[in-house]
Amino acid sequence: MEKVIEIQGLKKSFGKAAILTDMCLTVNRGENMVVLGKSGTGKSVTIKCIAGLLTPDEGSLKVFGKEVKEMDEDELKAMRHRIGFLFQGAALYDSMTVRENLAFPLKRVLKLKDKQEIESRSMEVLEAVGLADAIDKMPADLSGGMRKRMGLARTLVLKPEIILYDEPTTGLDTITSKEISHLILEMQERYQASAVIITHDMNCAKITGDRVMVMNGGRCEAEGTYEELENSNDPFIQSFFK
Amino acid sequence: MMPEQSRFSKTLFYIAEQAYFLKSFFRNAFKKGFEWEELFRQSYIIGYKSIGIVTLTGFILGIVLTLQSLPTLKEFGAVSYIPSMVSVSIIREIGPVIIALICAGKIASSIGAELGSMNVTEQIEAMEVSGANPVQYLVVTRILACTVMVPLLTIFADAMALIGGFIASKLSVGISMQLYFSKGLTILEYSDVLPAVIKTIFFGFTIGFVGCYKGFTANSGTASVGLAANSAVVNSSILIIIIDAIVVQISNSLFYS
Ligand SMILES: Nc1ncnc2c1ncn2[C@@H]1O[C@H](COP(=O)(O)OP(=O)(O)OP(=O)(O)O)[C@@H](O)[C@H]1O
Ligand SMILES: [Mg+2]
């Protein structure tokens, strides 16, 4: 099985605070990897390293078989074409309408010029997340759940091969959370996307996760299928499932 | 991001960071995929936002300068020098500096706040990770827009100041419009106008650069957005004064020695 993400012995500190101490993670092609962990253990930091937004201090981090820190600017850009990132706070461009938010990467990254094509690709993802009628709204006029889904739409519009979801369901009601979880599954099925899904939502983990990893203190504490971890005897791991 | 260290190494860190930011501006300014549309939009916004206050300031400046100097000039029987005095002092020094300081307050702060909040809410990272180029889209366009618009606003304000000066002179000593403007404009030489224009170009660049730098380096937390806006104004104002002093020195040694 092809490994799309391979992390070994990754370390990252900010000033004196060591956040990642010995992080390991592998994601195979087409697989959904769920990452659990307490707030502040460095989950977001890990996926920011994967996307090349943060540079790790030590360790190996390969995406599509290539070491990220050895990539030059063009390679990094090419890698980012193939990666989608859903930010914890959605990170919508708040000076642009929903339509412009979606057109922004299409015009600049895929260099699309044809208005018709931009429109049809935007509508496709908006329909997928159920936001088709919000296309002319400003991000400030969207509710929290709509913003999350909008962020998801913008991530998906480039049809990435790896999607990094940072808490896709946090702050949403149970019904919307379930919808988003199923959307994540659908992305996996429809586009054969691989994914890292950071979540505190055990329902989401159960629905989407092919494998689940528990992070603690900046490193991987345990890894396995949802059922394996659920039946673990370790009290720390147990605490996530209760 | 920044390790806790002495004041000295902190200062060095800031200088290095700014030099790096400057380098990345120049590198991205000449890359293909230049954002013309955004450049025009930013120029329009900057001009539109500042034109009111710049008009008012220029106009009042001309009036005040005239009314201030009239009594002294009268004393020496030199009232006829009013147009030339107003035009030289406005165009050489007062116009560029005052307008640049006003633009620092108006433009640098809004760029600092806008980019700062985009930074804090991870919008800049989102652009980067999608494969778009945030420096090209956000920084290059804003800095160039300032570099173009601040000189234009200054020229406009200078014109307003001359009009203000004329109105004040007309009302107090009854000078004719033709005489006022012919006297005011013929006195001007290259050595007055050229350094003034060049320095406003630097002022504009500084305003855009400091605003963008402060916004881009704002660290997380909403308080830092205010901080970014505030320090953008303070730092660009100080730099404007320093650049002004340097330009005066250089142009004096070029034209008057
Ligand atoms: N750019 C940065 N500069 C300094 N410190 C940072 C930076 N990014 C993250 N940190 C620190 O790293 C630690 C881990 O942050 P991270 O965002 O990865 O947590 P998390 O596991 O995602 O938690 P949560 O579930 O609350 O999102 C935090 O203590 C944070 O303060
Ligand atoms: Mg996080």
pLDDT of residue A190: 84
Q: Which residues on B lie below 8 Å from A154 (Cβ)? A: 126, 130
Ligand 1, atom 7: nearest CA belongs to which residue?
A14
Of B4, B131, B133, the CB nearest to A81: B131
Query: ipTM, 2 decimals?
Result: 0.91
Residues of B in contact with A152 (CB under 8 A): none
CATH number at residue A231: 3.40.50.300
Q: What is the pLDDT of residue B166?
A: 96
What are the DSSP calls for chain A, one per residue?
--EEEEEEEEEEEETTEEEEEEEEEEEETT-EEEEEE-TTSSHHHHHHHHTTSS--SEEEEEETTEEGGG--HHHHHHHHHTEEEE-TT----TTS-HHHHHHHHHHHTS----HHHHHHHHHHHHHHTT-GGGTT--GGGS-HHHHHHHHHHHHHTT--SEEEEESTTTTS-HHHHHHHHHHHHHHHHHH--EEEEE-S-HHHHHHH-SEEEEEETTEEEEEE-HHHHHT---HHHHHHH-
Residue A104 Cα to ligand 2 middle (Å) = 25
Tokens of B44: 């329009």
Mean pLDDT by 10 residues, chain A (242 residues): 92 92 94 94 95 94 94 92 92 95 93 92 90 93 90 92 93 87 89 93 94 93 92 90 82
DSSP labels, chain B? ------HHHHHHHHHHHHHHHHHHHHHHHTSSS--HHHHHHHHHHHHHHHHHHHHHHHHHHHHHHHHHHHHHHHHTT-GGGHHHHHHHHIIIIIHHHHHHHHHIIIIIHHHHHHHHHHHHTTHHHHHHHTT--HIIIIIIHHHHHHHHHHHHHHHHHHHHHHHHHHHHHHHHH---HHHHHHHHHHT--HHHHHHHHHHHHHHHHHHHHHHHHHHHTPPSSTHHHHHHHHHHHHHHHHHHHHHHHHHHHHHHHHH--
Q: Is residue B104 part of a domain?
A: yes
- Output the ligand 1 site: residues, CB below 6 A: A 14, 19, 37, 39-45, 88; B 1
Q: What does pTM read for this prediction?
A: 0.91
Angstroms from B108 CA to nearest CA on chain A: 18
Q: How far is B3 from chain A (nearest CA, A)?
A: 5
What is d(CA B93, CA B10) in angstroms, rounded to the nearest whole number?
Answer: 34
Residue B100 belongs to some domain of the structure: yes
Query: Shortest CA distance to A160 belongs to which of A183, A194, A185, A127?
Result: A194
Looking at CA atoms only, how far is residue B2 from chain A in angstroms?
7
Cα torsion B224, B225, B228, B233 to 10°: value is -140
**What's the B257 CA to ligand 1 centre distance in angstroms?**
60
Domain that holds residue B117: 35-249
pLDDT at B6: 82
Q: Is residue A66 part of a domain?
A: no
Q: What's the first-to-final CA gap in chain B, in angstroms?
A: 49
Instruction: Give tens-digit pLDDT for B150-193.
Output: 999 999 999 999 999 999 999 998 899 999 999 999 999 888 89
Residues of B with CB under 8 A from a CB of A: 1-4, 33, 114, 118, 121-123, 125-133, 137
> Quick one: pLDDT at residue B4?
60
CB atoms within 10 A of CB A3: 15
In a domain, residue B149? The reply is: yes
CA dist B199 and B248 (Å) reads: 9
Contact A80, B130 (CB under 8 A): yes
Give domain status of residue A172, yes or no: yes
Residue A205: inside a domain: yes
Q: Between chain A and chain B, how many beta carbons pairs sit less than 8 Å apart?
A: 62
Task: Note whether residue B181 is domain-resident.
Answer: yes
Q: Which residue of A has its CA nearest to B3?
A: A15
Are the C-beta atoms of B233 and B206 separated by less than 8 Å? Answer: no
Interface touch B122/A95, C-beta < 8 Å: no
Say how many domains are in chain A: 1
Domain count, chain B: 1
Q: Does residue A186 lie in a domain region?
A: yes
The torsion angles phi and psi of A3, rounded to 5 degrees, stand at -95, 115
Joined together, the tokens standing for residue A141 give 């006029």
The dihedral formed by the CA atoms of A176, A181, A187 and A193, expressed in degrees to the nearest 10: 140
List CB contacts (< 8 A) between A85 and chain B.
126, 129-130
A119 contacts: CB under 8 Å, gap ≥ 6 = none
Strand-pairing partners, residue A35, are A198, A213
Q: Ligand 1 pocket test: pick from A35, A45, A199, A214 the residue with the most ligand atoms within 8 Å of its Cβ.
A: A45
Does any domain span residue A96?
yes
Asked if residue B11 belongs to a domain, the reply is no
Residue B15 lies in a domain: no
Residue A127 domain-assigned? yes
Amino acid at B121: T
pLDDT of residue B115: 96
Interchain CB distance below 8 Å, B129 and A89: no
Measured over the CA atoms of residue B224, residue B125, residue A94 and residue B212, the dihedral's sign is: positive
The protein residue with its alpha carbon nearest to ligand 1, atom 31, reads A40
pLDDT at B82: 92
Q: Is residue A83 part of a domain?
A: yes
Q: Which of A52, A91, A40, A54 is nearest to A200 (CA)?
A: A40
Contact check, Cβ <8 Å, B121/A81: no
Q: Provide residues of A within 8 Å CB-CB of chain B.
A: 14-16, 48, 51-53, 77, 80-81, 83, 85, 87-89, 91-95, 104-105, 108-109, 154, 158
For chain B, which residues score pLDDT lower than 70?
1-5
Domain extent at residue A223: 31-56+72-238
- Angle, alpha carbons B4-B8-B9 (nearest 5°): 50
Q: Is residue A2 part of a domain?
A: no
Q: Does some domain include residue B18? A: no
Tell me how far the alpha carbon of residue B231 lies from the centroid of ligand 1, in angstroms: 25
